Amino acid sequence: MQKLKLAVLISGSGSNLQAIIDACADEDFPARVMCVISNRPDAHGLKRARDAGISAHIVDHKVYDSRADFEEVLDDTLNHYDLDLICLAGFMRILGAGFIGKWENQILNTHPSLLPKFGGEGMYGEHVHRAVLDAGESESGATIHFVIPDVDKGPIVLQRSVPVLEGDSIETLSARVIEQEHIAYPEAIAKIARERLEKP
């Protein structure tokens, strides 16, 4: 069976990476993870990759004098693999237009709100859930979208919503949202794989 070849980029826990690894364990799932790259040497997700027998690389952004140098090494590392899709999964670096341009329509990201609401520069992690609670929203959720230079503005692949409950805290809301991210990311990868692998 033809499978979409993935790279997964992480910065931390890697629970979204784990969801993708677990989905790929099903031989009928139309994708496989070729490599994992972390910009943080201490990312727990690196252990998840190694435990799954997946090539794991560290490209530590702190080592490079500029974003351009960091992205050049990141690009070189990715080019060791014959990839179809780069999945940002808790990857906390903003990628520049030059890098994105080399991987046009090949970079996915997960965002913990129903974009276009509560997205954009500075809207990541807890800041998103805080803003949703402060705005008194009745629902939030997870968005999987293509990455373009304009942060969080790329085409949406799919979304999964959750209710915002009375008395929700950042912790309770983020736990409910990330649970849906773990379902949405594999679903989005499968959707793209079906569209791209079945094309004549």
Q: Which residues bind ligand GRF (CB under 6 A)?
A: 10, 12-16, 89-90, 110-112, 124-125, 178, 181
Question: Is the backbone of residue 190 left (phi > 0), alpha (psi -120 to 50) or beta?
Answer: alpha
Taking the complex as a whole, the smallest distance from the CB of residue 41 to ligand GRF amounts, in Å, to: 15
Distance CA 67, CA 17 (A): 24
Residue with the CB atom nearest ligand GRF in the bound state: 90
Residue 98: phi, psi to the nearest 5?
-60, -45
Q: Between residues 21 and 193, which has the closer beta carbon with respect to ligand GRF?
A: 21
DSSP one-letter string for 35-68? EEEESSTT-HHHHHHHHTT-EEEE--GGGSSSHH
Taking the complex as a whole, the smallest distance from the CB of residue 4 to ligand GRF amounts, in Å, to: 19
Catalytic annotation, residues: 111
* CA angle 41–47–51, rounded 5-degree value: 150
Q: Between residues 117 and 196, which has the closer beta carbon with respect to ligand GRF?
A: 117
Taking the complex as a whole, the smallest distance from the CB of residue 178 to ligand GRF amounts, in Å, to: 5
In angstroms, the first-to-last Cα distance of the chain is 15
Q: Between residues 26 and 126, which has the closer beta carbon with respect to ligand GRF?
A: 126
Q: Between residues 72 and 187, which has the closer beta carbon with respect to ligand GRF?
A: 187
Taking the complex as a whole, the smallest distance from the CB of residue 48 to ligand GRF amounts, in Å, to: 9
Pair 57, 36: CB distance under 8 Å = yes
Distance CA 5, CA 22 (A): 15
